[in-house]
A and B are shown apart, each in its own frame.
Chain A
Amino acid sequence: MRVLLDDVSKTYADRSGQAVEALAHVSFTAEAEELVAIVGPSGCGKSTLLNLVAGLLAPGAGAIAFEGDLPPGRPPTAMVFQEFALFPWRTVQANVELGLEEAGRPAADRRVIARRFIELTGLGGFEGKYPHQLSGGMRQRVGIARALAVEPAVLLMDEPFSALDAQTRQLMQEELLGIWERTRQTILYVTHNIHEAVWMADRVVVLSRRPGRVLEIVPVELKRPRTEAMLGEPGFVHAVELIWGRIRSQARDALQEGRE
């Protein structure tokens, strides 16, 4: 399924009632089964963008649309959150089943489907555990399983591994790509980590400081499956430098202003 963003702008009122322009005239298209990363300096509106696509924010100006076949019973999007957003009072199994409940699946089906994705994400044996008993990496696996279980056409990932330590993050990135080989959704992947963006994505959308505009869309010329060795390849390094070059001064300005 393709995701089309056509001249999307979004303004909202902040706490003191001031109008804040988060996004300005963002346009790009994510192709079916493509992993598109979105990076930018602090406050560039990348999370806002994701929430718009998820329907969690009221639409602003412009249009967002999905193009392609959507089998019945499958939602267009499902989200994976930076802080995991698991229900502490639900076991792993129950957490993964959440989306299936809302989709109206009968209990027996839910159990089976959830188990499949629990196995897929390496959570086998932990079905009965509560989130507080799991490490950060495990918790995000639950978050991913939960999102995958509803088999969305588009997977929205909002800095999914930012809350994890560097080592876990590295492993989880590899895991995700491995899972994605099997499930093949279109993925919109928001991150502040340029290395992560380039290593994961087919293309990287670079946003400017607030109000977020598309500065550049950088294609990544690396083959799949991605390997650690590629981290040293010129194609990788070049892409990273290009992106950092585009946003470096903006990032500095954002730091100076001290605003988020």
Chain B
Amino acid sequence: MRRLVAALALVSLALAAAPGGAQPLPKVKLGVLKLTASAVLFLGVEKGYFKEFGVDPELVYFQAAQPIAVALASGDIDVGATGLTAGLYNIVTGGVHIWIVADKGREWPDYNLSALVVRTDLYDGGVRSLRDLRGKKVGVTQIGSTFHYNVGRYLEKEGMTLADVEIVPLQGLPALNDALTARRVDAVATAEPFVSRLESSGAGRVIVNTGDTFPWQIATVMYSDKLAKNRALAVAFMRGYVKASRTYYDAVIARKSGPAYDELVALTARYTGAAPELIRKGFPYQDRDGRLMPGDVGRQLAWWHQQGFVKARLTEKDVVDESFLREALTLSLGFR
């Protein structure tokens, strides 16, 4: 026994006295979906923008937005970059902090990430708007998802409410396609590349494009409470993100073509395995500096609360913290 203790002591001493030299960079676990929408982060990781500011990012892939929120809550990841769901807001209500810190994608005119697709046979029969879908079945992924929110907002635009249609949760995007094709639902609220697939297979026709109809802050970068408390690391990551965001904007939004654009398409194809044509359609719009759409999160909170899916009446200051972004931007003043 004594020898074991002595051996352990020796080993720990040796480790502690390791020759100084390059200290490894602090790791930050970054949860993303393996979709084109995460291109800005793939860019930042690939080009080493985070390492530049002293952060070693580790990409962790998820299948849906909700699990990312859960992983942030449990501390399994430090940063999440995905859609805003009612589940996320309920996590905050439940006493665990998750902070919305920067823009990572907005539904924006000409940059439609999602759409309402109606069955071709119904479309041919005259169903062209939400009014015509009164009382019908509309498929979404989950209750509380961005798609659910979309449908609610589509309806409000027409002066209707969620109660005017039958929401059918089908748990996944591929399931939505199957259901529409098999005519088990009348319309689905879905995202690319599934929208294009439905149209090309002739199963459905788009009647509402979200970004064109009402822009909103659909996806953001989020910090776990633990990371938020580590101010230095949190700001360092943000500086890397700002650089990635600006590079992304210049390549995709400002120019829509050119060598930088093509390079990004190729990069994204490597990370996601998707086809270039689909990638081009899927680049989201975001603010060059990563700023959030003012007031939109507050608007989402109010809507979810009103519909009864978020019990507590939260306000923006309960979930949003742009101070990291502001500090990063100040430090990056003078940089492109």
Contact flag (A, B; Cβ within 8 A) = no
B residues sitting closer than 8 Å to A (CB atoms) are: none
A residues sitting closer than 8 Å to B (CB atoms) are: none
